[in-house]
Chain A
Amino acid sequence: GQQVMQIPQYQHVQEGEDFTTYCNSSTTLSNIQWYKQRPGGHPVFLIQLVKSGEVKKQKRLTFQFGEAKKNSSLHITATQTTDVGTYFCAGPQGGSEKLVFGKGTKLTVNP
């Protein structure tokens, strides 16, 4: 079945360093979504990318969708302690409303 893989599984950085997580799908995606889950919290939607090669920015966060629409990345510039959490990517399963989630990248930031 459809798989969404994320790397790395864990990332520990010093505050101020950059961070990137990568997402790869076994199938072409119509769109890809990113979620953030703070420790002890629930996943919260960050953004959706739809177009091939799309790049979107949210302050220090940059999201990219690959040309083939099978991979994506999230880059955080100059991490802050507020960036701590687990970042998930997710893609729709076929043409359904169901999402297949990656296993997430857990980011810890040392102040």
Chain B
Amino acid sequence: DAGITQSPRYKITETGRQVTLMCHQTWSHSYMFWYRQDLGHGLRLIYYSAAADITDKGEVPDGYVVSRSKTENFPLTLESATRSQTSVYFCAVTPPSNNEQFFGPGTRLTVL
């Protein structure tokens, strides 16, 4: 949705490099999520955040780090990328009135 942007949209990197994927919302919704999507696995939650400075692990957090110093931004960092982290990454937010999720356009990451 227009209120969520992700950057970069495409990224190719090498094993061992650090990569940061950005997620920005134009609203000020509290809850933000990071998912990865792989064939045969659907959407798997990596990390989520309930508010600025509050983050928690999801289903597949290993190899990832998040921070949330500002409500609008929720960057996801791969500290030392591995080939198994090749995936499509989606950021999502939940408005306070209900728990439906609005997804960003995604980042396609390839780790060589």
Give the B-binding residues of A (Cβ under 8 A): 31, 33, 35, 41-45, 48, 88, 90, 92, 97-99, 101-104
Contacts and interface: CB of A to CB of B under 8 A. Distances in A.
A98 B31 CA distance: 9
Interface residue tally of chain B, by bracket?
A: 20 to 34
Q: Which of B33, B42, B50 has the most CB of A within 10 A?
A: B42
Interface in B41-55: 41-45, 48, 50
B104 A42 contact: yes
A55 to B, nearest CB: 19
Contacts of B92: 43
Given A102-B42, A103-B41, A48 B103 contact: no
B101 A104 contact: no
Contacts, number: 47
Interface in B28-79: 31, 33, 40-45, 48, 50, 58
B98 A48 contact: yes
A101 B43 contact: yes
A44 B4 CA distance: 13
A42 B42 contact: no
Contacts of A104: 42
**Is chain B's binding surface mostly helix, strand, loop or mixed?**
strand
In the complex, the 5 A-B pairs of residues with the closest C-beta atoms, listed nearest first: A103-B42, A42-B103, A101-B43, A45-B100, A97-B31
B56 to A, nearest CB: 9
A17 to B, nearest CB: 25
Nearest to A1: B59
A16 to B, nearest CB: 28
